[in-house]
């Protein structure tokens, strides 16, 4: 079986998470993705370990820049070269690479590519049907265009943080780089749409993607609620504006929990049966959804009277067995041992020359005729200089050595 994006070449200038994640989605579908990394700011650090980074067994090793966990996760299936785009020779080589590529992904602030003399109008002179996606925090126009931000700042500016948390408490950030992941997914989708347009018309295009707007687009209900009712949505913790019971309940064991959601009277009766129909479930204060919402504190306390005596998997199976939505709260360790994910062969073992052998999340969707696949671990720094500069661009061995000697394409990051 061939991969759906076979023969597509992508240049990845992405930084940290959002840009690299977008390019990785394309790589998982078979595109040849070439990461172009600065010798001075590779995104994976240099000889000095990155503060706060995760390393195998907690050890940075001799080449910590090849062992950073987050980097190796979002850059699998790619190739990597080092190239200093601030040097004339670096830009020249980069433009030669653009000429034989289909897509370019970058998530710098809008001023960076133009400052390098590599904005879209320059690049399309080398490849007229090039598709370039620029995914900045706030987009290429507007008063915030030059503001820079990581995911938590984008979440705050998108109104997402104001919905996270508990009543009366402060706004909270998501537990993962949620804004970056959403932006990366949207960027990959936009590239596919642009490829379809190019297939029909022969035209490339420049995609202006705001990560903030990607996240705002998921909060439509809150925006519409205010526009229709002048009501500002507030954080509700684990509860729901309508359903009750709805929350996360402690179970038997250390830090064990189960999530339960009941959205109808019929489901409530099923939930009661799963719990053994205790007498309190027939009290008038729990007779309908409105009453249960009014007495949620008491309801949650009584629900935990059952869950605390029950294993979280047992609680999940008992409730799911009668048609009530429930799920055990799993840790990363439990996910790796989850029998359902194992049966679907979701996690993939990858062997990295510096980071070792580890399991990685697989491809999130399965095409029956042209499935994507996880083939290679993330590249080491400058791993593919010889292949890209030599085989793809036709440069001689002497030219490559000269670039390395002049600091245009180093073999190790300087910091």
Q: Which pLDDT does position 194 carry in this prediction?
A: 98
What 3-state class would DSSP assign to 349?
A: strand
Neighbouring-strand partners of residue 206: 132
Q: Which pLDDT does position 1 carry in this prediction?
A: 65
- Burial-class residue 290 by CB neighbours within 10 Å (0-12, 13-18, 19+): exposed
Whole-angstrom CA distances from 248 to 162, 171, 316 are 20, 19, 12
- Using pLDDT thresholds of 50, 70 and 90, give the confidence band for residue 415: low
Check whether 42 has a pLDDT greater than 80. no
Full-model pTM: 0.93
Q: Which pLDDT does position 2 carry in this prediction?
A: 77
Torsion sign (Cα): 279, 282, 284, 286: positive
Beta strands, E only, 8-77? 9-12, 32-37
Active site residues: 180
Contacts of 324 (CB under 8 A, 6+ apart): 260, 261, 262, 267, 270, 271, 274
Neighbouring-strand partners of residue 81: 36
Q: Give me 334's structure tokens.
A: 């439990």
With vertex at residue 282, the alpha carbon angle to CA 296 and CA 323, rounded to the nearest 5 degrees, is 75
Whole-angstrom CA distances from 389 to 11, 107, 256, 406 are 13, 24, 53, 15
d(CA 299, CA 318): 19
Q: Give me 130's structure tokens.
A: 């090039």
Check whether 233 has a pLDDT greater than 90. no
Check whether 46 has a pLDDT greater than 90. no
Check whether 78 has a pLDDT greater than 70. yes
Whole-angstrom CA distances from 69 to 65, 100, 108, 357, 377 are 10, 31, 22, 12, 11
**110: nearest Cα among 22, 183, 36, 207:** 207
Q: Which domains does the chain have, with CATH numbers?
A: 9-217+346-405 (3.40.50.10540), 246-336 (3.30.1540.10)
Check whether 82 has a pLDDT greater than 90. yes
Compute the average pLDDT of residues 245-259: 97
d(CA 112, CA 355): 32
pLDDT digits (tens, 9 = 90+) for 104-146: 999 999 999 999 999 999 999 999 999 999 999 999 999 999 9
* SS3 track for 110-175: CHHHHHCCCCHHHHCCCCCCCEEEEEECCCCCCCCCCCCCCHHHHHHHCCCHHHCCCCCCCCCCCC
Q: Which pLDDT does position 108 carry in this prediction?
A: 95
Check whether 48 has a pLDDT greater than 90. no
Check whether 264 has a pLDDT greater than 70. yes
Neighbouring-strand partners of residue 37: 82
d(CA 357, CA 377): 9
Compute the average pLDDT of residues 336-365: 95
Residue with tokens 């067995």: 321
Average model confidence (pLDDT) across the chain = 94
Q: Give me 76's structure tokens.
A: 């699998």
pLDDT digits (tens, 9 = 90+) for 270-282: 999 999 999 999 9
pLDDT digits (tens, 9 = 90+) for 172-228: 888 888 999 999 999 999 999 999 999 999 999 999 999 999 999 999 888 888 889
**221: nearest Cα among 168, 160, 296:** 160
- Using pLDDT thresholds of 50, 70 and 90, give the confidence band for residue 401: very high
What 3-state class would DSSP assign to 250?
A: strand
pLDDT digits (tens, 9 = 90+) for 302-333: 999 999 999 999 999 999 999 999 999 999 99
Q: Residue 373: what are its φ and ψ, rounded to 5°?
A: -155, 155
Tell which phi-psi region holds residue 114, choosing left (phi > 0), alpha (psi between -120 and 50) or beta: alpha
What 3-state class would DSSP assign to 329?
A: coil
Question: What angle do helix axes 265-274 and 312-321 make, rounded to 10 degrees?
Answer: 130
């Amino acid at each position: 079986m061939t991969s759906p994006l076979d023969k597509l070449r992508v240049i990845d200038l992405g930084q940290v998470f959002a840009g690299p994640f977008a390019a990785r989605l394309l790589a998982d579908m078979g595109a040849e993705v070439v990461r172009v990394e600065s010798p001075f700011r590779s995104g994976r650090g240099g000889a000095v370990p990155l503060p706060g980074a995760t390393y195998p067994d907690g050890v940075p090793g001799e080449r910590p820049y090849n062992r950073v966990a987050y980097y190796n996760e979002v850059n699998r299936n790619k190739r990597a070269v080092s190239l200093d785009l601030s040097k004339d020779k670096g830009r020249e080589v980069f433009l030669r690479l653009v000429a034989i590529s289909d897509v370019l992904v970058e998530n710098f602030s809008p001023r960076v590519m133009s400052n390098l003399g590599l904005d879209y109008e320059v690049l399309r002179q080398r490849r007229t049907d090039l598709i370039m996606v620029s995914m900045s925090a706030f987009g290429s126009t507007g008063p915030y265009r030059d503001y820079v931000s990581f995911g938590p700042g984008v979440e705050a500016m998108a109104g997402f943080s104001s919905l996270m948390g508990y009543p009366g408490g402060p706004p909270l950030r998501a537990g993962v780089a949620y804004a970056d992941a959403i932006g990366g997914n949207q960027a990959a989708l936009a590239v596919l749409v642009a490829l379809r347009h190019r297939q029909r018309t022969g035209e490339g295009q420049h995609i202006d993607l705001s990560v903030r707007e990607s996240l705002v687009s998921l909060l439509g209900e809150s925006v519409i609620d205010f526009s229709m009712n002048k009501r500002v949505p507030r954080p509700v913790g684990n509860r729901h504006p309508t359903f009750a019971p709805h929350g996360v309940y402690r179970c038997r064991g250390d830090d064990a929990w189960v999530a339960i959601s009941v959205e109808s009277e019929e489901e409530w009766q099923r939930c009661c049966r799963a719990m053994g129909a205790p007498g309190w479930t027939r009290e008038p204060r729990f007779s309908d959804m409105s009453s249960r919402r009014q007495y949620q504190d008491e309801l949650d306390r009584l629900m935990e009277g059952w869950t605390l005596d029950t294993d979280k998997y047992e609680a999940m199976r008992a409730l799911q067995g009668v048609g009530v939505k429930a799920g055990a709260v799993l840790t990363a360790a439990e996910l790796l041992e989850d029998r359902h994910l194992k049966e679907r062969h979701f996690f993939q073992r990858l062997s990295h020359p510096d980071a070792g052998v580890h399991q990685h999340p697989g491809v999130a969707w399965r095409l029956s005729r042209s499935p994507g696949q996880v083939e290679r671990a993330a590249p080491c720094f400058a791993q593919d200089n010889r292949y890209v500069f030599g085989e793809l661009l036709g440069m001689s061995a002497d030219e490559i050595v000269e670039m390395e000697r002049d600091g245009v394409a180093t073999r190790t990051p300087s910091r």
